[in-house]
Amino acid sequence: MGVSGYSLRPATAGDAGFLTDMLVAAVNWDPAREPIGRDRVLAERRTAHYVEGWPRPGDLGVIAVEAGGRPVGAAWLRLFGPDDPGYGFVSEGVPELSVGVLPSWRGGGVGRALLTEVVRRAAERGFTRICLSVERSNRARRLYATEGFTTVESGPDSDTMIMILPAR
């Protein structure tokens, strides 16, 4: 069953704080693990670089907002280079996806709607592929697979997945 009462809008410079919240949520996706605090997420380059300096040229994001305008979820894309790769890096020019939804809004279709919209905007902008990294035991993996991402590389616990975008 889908949740209602939300809408999607492009992410702006004012969303940097919320994107950080969603990055922290994504890092801490597994409730069985000791949570990693926001300060540590921002202190470590390999996690901080998903939001650092937002927005950077090439960044693209979508925010889900509830009726009063409060953000409840986000999906965003950022380009990385081989000198500073994200976990899901495949090659230069292929942006990496991050996604997070507030806990009370999960399981109602917001994540899938965000993903569909960010993919649509990425294709519109001329990107031909999107990549991501997901731990194999994260339920989000199923979301990606059902939206058309395929695994291109498997590590011990995580997969790198890519989606080929429809031509404009």
Residues that bind ligand COA (CB under 6 A): 25-26, 29, 99-101, 106-112, 134, 138-140, 142-143
Evaluate whether 51 touches 16 at the Cβ level (below 8 Å).
Answer: yes
Cβ proximity to ligand COA, 29 vs 89, nearer residue: 29
**Which residues, including other chains, have CB under 8 Å from residue 2's CB and lie 6 or more apart?**
108, 109
Cβ proximity to ligand COA, 56 vs 142, nearer residue: 142
Distance of closest approach, residue 168 Cβ to ligand COA, in angstroms: 25
Distance of closest approach, residue 97 Cβ to ligand COA, in angstroms: 8
Q: Which DSSP symbol is given to 142? A: H
Longest Cα pair distance anywhere in the chain, in angstroms?
43
How far apart are alpha carbons 6 and 11 in whole angstroms? 15
Cβ proximity to ligand COA, 33 vs 57, nearer residue: 33
Cβ proximity to ligand COA, 120 vs 142, nearer residue: 142
| Residue with smallest beta-carbon separation from ligand COA | 111
Q: Which DSSP symbol is given to 32? A: T
Evaluate whether 101 touches 126 at the Cβ level (below 8 Å).
Answer: no
Distance of closest approach, residue 118 Cβ to ligand COA, in angstroms: 11
